[in-house]
Structure 1
């Protein structure tokens, strides 16, 4: 199977699993799902030269921000799959193992902790949110689920 196609499928598959996890969290524990329109708003404002917001919710809406946010979410999942294969090589694609996938998945939490959350007004590692410890734990769990999704998607590709 084509390497690029495999990486794209793995990234999308892992992101879908992460989104399914968000739905489960909401239905079982009432934990709200992420609003990817806010990611789209943040990214669109970056294109206009504004990198930091006191609160992204209070920043002006951008036309198409929801589509931008969801597209960025899935493109990021694909980019992280690229990183997985870049770090662990083509042999991982041929015989996926859980360790590298979890390592990459959990490591990706540095992006929201140190870039996105501070830039959107939530502070480093969600320190300015109402429940920072809970937000951090949920982020770590969600990124671990993404890592498992990388593995599961890679493993599933081996069936074809």
Structure 2
């Protein structure tokens, strides 16, 4: 079990780093705004106070340390996903990882963003309340594809 856990940590870390690199590439080459982890931190920071949904995160009261909270949450979720995939697939897959399960899993994880995070932050189901919902969805699917590549590469790297 320790090997599976360690593999999952490597997978989740690499996948999250790759997702962040992808976001920077899009910001620099296509003018796509970088993710605002402060808003995610603000959302998370309001949860201990019992507030899980907001109409607009920008209008919510600021939370001390919201940017670092957002970054920690982002990486914690990536690590949990890496561990979950490693656990679901098990030692046999980890010994010879294939891309398809990592990609399918990564695409499925967008459900958390579409069904929990975005509505909780006032963006609607699957970004339906954003100015360009289909663009946001497409960018999310691309980011999660990159995340899936990172999960797979993390499994390959840790295999050796």
Shorter chain as normaliser: what TM range? over 0.9
Give the distance between the partners of 1:56 and 1:154, measured in 2 at CA. 36
Task: Quote the residue 2:129 is aligned against.
Answer: 128
Give the distance between the partners of 1:59 and 1:92, measured in 2 at CA. 44
Give the distance between the partners of 1:86 and 1:5, measured in 2 at CA. 10
Q: Does 1:26 align with 2:27?
A: yes
Task: Quote the residue 1:101 is aligned against.
Answer: 102
Query: Following TM superposition, by how much is the alpha carbon of 1:120 offset from its aligned partner in structure 2, in angstroms?
Result: 0.3
Moved more, 82-91 or 30-39: 82-91
Q: Does 1:70 align with 2:66?
A: no
Give the distance between the partners of 2:76 and 2:69, measured in 1 at CA. 10
Moved more, 5-14 or 128-137: 5-14
Give the distance between the partners of 2:84 and 2:8, measured in 1 at CA. 10
Q: TM-score, normalised by structure 1?
A: 0.95
Give the distance between the partners of 1:103 and 1:86, measured in 2 at CA. 15
Task: Quote the residue 1:48 is aligned against.
Answer: 49
Give the distance between the partners of 1:125 and 1:139, measured in 2 at CA. 9
Give the distance between the partners of 1:146 and 1:156, measured in 2 at CA. 15
In structure 1, runs of 5+ residues without a counterpart are none
Query: Following TM superposition, by how much is the alpha carbon of 1:24 offset from its aligned partner in structure 2, in angstroms?
Result: 0.6
Task: Quote the residue 1:111 is aligned against.
Answer: 112
Q: TM-score, normalised by structure 2?
A: 0.95
Give the distance between the partners of 1:157 and 1:85, measured in 2 at CA. 11
Q: Which runs of 4+ in 1 moved over 6 A?
A: none
Give the distance between the partners of 2:118 and 2:97, measured in 1 at CA. 31
1:7-33 deviation line (CA, Å, top 9, x unaligned): 111110100000000001111100011
Give the distance between the partners of 2:145 and 2:112, measured in 1 at CA. 14
SS at match of 2:55: coil
* Bigger RCO (CA 8 Å, 6+ sep): 2
Task: Quote the residue 2:91 is aligned against.
Answer: 90
